[in-house]
Chains A and B, each alone.
Chain A
Amino acid sequence: NAGVTQTPKFQVLKTGQSMTLQCAQDMNHEYMSWYRQDPGMGLRLIHYSVGAGITDQGEVPNGYNVSRSTTEDFPLRLLSAAPSQTSVYFCASSYSGQGGETQYFGPGTRLLVL
């Protein structure tokens, strides 16, 4: 089991460029989510998905798009990067259920927007 994998590990973008952060999991988890981590702000939820074909917005969705065409993959797209999107991005997955399912986190993608 590879768990939750994220690529790339580090990326530098120029303002206005677009890119996709990849996230994949091999645990057959229905629930997947994207967070950004900034100093003093903790983890903030960007988008989440309760299953293939279903996505919803979190706390800070502006500037980001997601899609969920398969159970395994949940890519995060930056359409036009801005310096405010400089952050560390974490993807997480868990089973979907009625109670408190444990989330498994990927190692993160560090993004620098110049």
Chain B
Amino acid sequence: AQSVAQPEDQVNVAEGNPLTVKCTYSVSGNPYLFWYVQYPNRGLQFLLKYITGDNLVKGSYGFEAEFNKSQTSFHLKKPSALVSDSALYFCAVRDEGTSGTYKYIFGTGTRLKVLA
């Protein structure tokens, strides 16, 4: 079964500095990888996804993620953090089941805190 791991419970970064939120994956075959963000008392919102092609994926709000097959990683990045980026970030992978079914598996989440 596919899985994702987010090794950091929390990441602190100063406003204006670059940020990275880490995600590693374990899959058989080609992975479909996602990043979602959750603001307080809200549902999750889609940020970006990797399906195939360019290893650098650009998404919403200036975020991007780099797919690295050799390191089995899909880290989320942003060149210059904003205080408003403070939220809970989830990495997810599509897990292909038998008989054409599939499901999405989420990581445990990383809380990003951007300090003014």
Interface of B is mostly: strand
User: Using a CB-CB cutoff of 8 Å, which residues 60-114 of chain A contact chain B?
Assistant: 90, 92, 99-100, 102-108
Q: How far is the CA of A73 from the CA of B59 in the complex (A)?
A: 30
Q: How far is the CA of A15 from the CA of B44 in the complex (A)?
A: 29
A26 neighbours in B (Cβ, 8 Å): none
Q: How far is the CA of A33 from the CA of B94 in the complex (A)?
A: 13
A90 touches B108 (CB 8 A): no
B106 touches A50 (CB 8 A): no
How many pairs, one residue from A and one from B, have CB atoms within 8 Å of each other in the complex? 64
Minimum distance in angstroms from B8 CB to a CB of chain A: 13
Interface of A is mostly: strand
B9 neighbours in A (Cβ, 8 Å): 40
A103 touches B104 (CB 8 A): yes
Question: Does A45 have its Cβ within 8 Å of any Cβ on chain B?
Answer: yes
Which of A99, A100, A105 has a CB less than 8 Å from the CB of B43? A105
Question: Does A2 have its Cβ within 8 Å of any Cβ on chain B?
Answer: no
